[in-house]
Amino acid sequence: MAKSVPLTQAIGGYIFGILQACIRFVFRLIYGQKGESVPPITDAILLESATSLARKIRKQELSSVQVLESFIRRIKEVNPILNCVVDERYDQALKEAAEADALIKSGQYSTEELEKEKPFLGVPITTKDCISVKGMLHTAGLFERRDVRAARDADAMALMRKAGAIPIALTNVSEVCMWWESNNTVHGRTRNAYDTNRIVGGSSGGEGCIQSAAASAFGLGSDIGGSIRMPAFFNGIFGHKPSKLVVSNVGQFPAPFSAEQNSFLGLGPMSRFAEDLRPMLKIMAGEKAALLNLDEDVDLTKMKFFYQESDGGGRLVSAVDPDLREAMNRVAQHLREKFGNQKVERIQLPHFRQSAAIWFANMRDDSGHGFAYQLGNLNHDINTYLELFKWFFGASKHTFIGLSTAIMDSAQCKHGSPKYDHLVRKRNELREELQSLLGDNGVLIYPTHPTVAPYHNEPITRPINFAYTGIVNVLGFPATAVPLGKLGSEGLPLGVQIIANFNQDRLCLAVAEELERAFGGWAKPEVRL
User: In whole numbers, what is the pLDDT of the chain averaged over residues?
Assistant: 96
Residue 19: the pLDDT is 93
| Contact status, residue 262 vs residue 476, Cβ threshold 8 Å | no
Nearest to 176 by CA among 168, 167, 186: 186
Domains and CATH numbers, the chain: 38-290+300-364+412-519 (3.90.1300.10)
**What is the SS3 assignment for 481?**
strand
Structure confidence at residue 1 as a pLDDT band (50, 70, 90): very low
Taking only the tens place, the pLDDT of each residue in 9-66 is 778 888 999 999 999 999 999 998 889 999 999 999 999 999 999 999 999 999 999 9
Taking the model in full, what pTM does it have? 0.97
> How far from 511 is each of 19, 89, 266, 493, CA to CA, in Å?
37, 36, 20, 18
Interatomic CA distance for residues 279 and 507, integer angstroms = 14
Taking only the tens place, the pLDDT of each residue in 247-265 is 999 999 999 999 999 999 9
Structure confidence at residue 273 as a pLDDT band (50, 70, 90): very high
Burial of 310-334, coded b for 16+ CB within 10 Å and e otherwise, reads bbbbbbebbbbbebbeebbebbbeb
Supply angle C-alpha 201, 506, 351, rounded to 5. Answer: 60
Structure confidence at residue 528 as a pLDDT band (50, 70, 90): low
Q: Is the predicted pLDDT of residue 313 greater than 50, yes or no? A: yes
Mean pLDDT of 313-339: 97
Structure confidence at residue 526 as a pLDDT band (50, 70, 90): confident
- Position 73: which residue type? R
Higher pLDDT, 34 or 390: 390
Structure confidence at residue 281 as a pLDDT band (50, 70, 90): very high
Backbone angles phi, psi at 481, to 5 degrees: -80, 130
Interatomic CA distance for residues 367 and 415, integer angstroms = 9
Interatomic CA distance for residues 118 and 125, integer angstroms = 14
| Contact status, residue 467 vs residue 360, Cβ threshold 8 Å | no
Residue 436: the pLDDT is 98
Taking only the tens place, the pLDDT of each residue in 334-352 is 999 999 999 999 999 999 9
Interatomic CA distance for residues 216 and 196, integer angstroms = 19
| Contact status, residue 208 vs residue 183, Cβ threshold 8 Å | no
Catalytic residues: 128, 203, 227
Interatomic CA distance for residues 331 and 519, integer angstroms = 9
Residue 3: the pLDDT is 57
Q: How many Cβ atoms are within 10 Å of 244's Cβ, its own excluded? A: 20
The conformational region for residue 7 under phi > 0 = left, psi -120 to 50 = alpha, else beta, is alpha
Q: Is the predicted pLDDT of residue 243 greater than 60, yes or no? A: yes
Residue 9: the pLDDT is 72
| Contact status, residue 184 vs residue 173, Cβ threshold 8 Å | yes
Taking only the tens place, the pLDDT of each residue in 431-456 is 999 999 999 999 999 999 999 999 99
- According to DSSP, the β-strands at 124-128 and 166-171 are parallel
Sorted by sequence, the CB contacts under 8 Å of residue 194 that are 6+ apart come out as: 212, 235, 236, 453, 487, 491, 492, 493, 525, 526
| Contact status, residue 189 vs residue 456, Cβ threshold 8 Å | yes
Mean pLDDT of 236-246: 98
Burial of 411-432, coded b for 16+ CB within 10 Å and e otherwise, reads ebbebeeeebeebbebbeebbe
Q: Is the predicted pLDDT of residue 76 greater than 60, yes or no? A: yes
Mean pLDDT of 317-345: 97
**DSSP letters spanning 268-335:** EEEESSGGGHHHHHHHHTGGGGGGTTTTS---GGG-EEEE-SS-S--TT-PPPPHHHHHHHHHHHHHH
Residue 322: the pLDDT is 97
Residue 4: the pLDDT is 61
Q: 60-65 contacts: CB < 8 A, separation 24 or more?
A: 60/104, 60/105, 63/97, 63/101, 63/122, 64/97, 64/98, 64/100, 64/101, 64/121, 64/122, 64/123, 64/166, 65/94, 65/97, 65/98, 65/101
Mean pLDDT of 72-87: 98
| Contact status, residue 235 vs residue 209, Cβ threshold 8 Å | yes
Higher pLDDT, 7 or 87: 87
DSSP state of 136: S
For the ranges 78-87, 360-369, 420-429, 469-478, the lowest mean pLDDT is seen at: 360-369
Residue 508: the pLDDT is 98
Q: Tally helices (H) and strands (E) across the chain.
A: 18, 13
**What is the SS3 assignment for 147?**
coil
Mean pLDDT of 145-167: 98
